[in-house]
Amino acid sequence: MSAKNTVAHKAAKAAAKHTAHGTASKLKRDPMRTATLLGVGGAVGAAAGWMAGRTAASASAGAGS
């Protein structure tokens, strides 16, 4: 693994740990707000994924004709 890839991997790992720690900390302080925000974020992400999937599916269906 090159030095550039190693640094990128370590940075991604640190960011993931930081995010997990922050989420856990917020969950302890204000569980209702955190659960609401996570739920809304998940719903928005699911809707965006669904829309992207439909767009990609319709684009590929149109390309096959």
**By residue range, what is the domain housing residue 34?**
3-64
Confidence band, pLDDT 50/70/90 cuts, at residue 63: low
Which residues, 6+ apart, have CB-to-CB distance to 35 below 8 Å? 27
pLDDT at 28 over 60: yes
Proportion of the chain above pLDDT 70, given as a percent: 92
Could you give the number of structural domains in the chain?
1
Alpha carbon of 47 to those of 31, 41, 42, 51, 62: distances in Å? Answer: 24, 10, 9, 6, 22
Query: Cα(46)–Cα(54) distance, rounded to whole angstroms?
Result: 12
Residue 64 has a pLDDT of: 55
Prediction pTM value: 0.50
DSSP assignments along 12-45, one per residue:
HHHHHHHHHHHHHHHHHH-HHHHHHHHHHHHHHH
Residue 26 has a pLDDT of: 78
Q: Residue range 36-62: average pLDDT?
A: 89
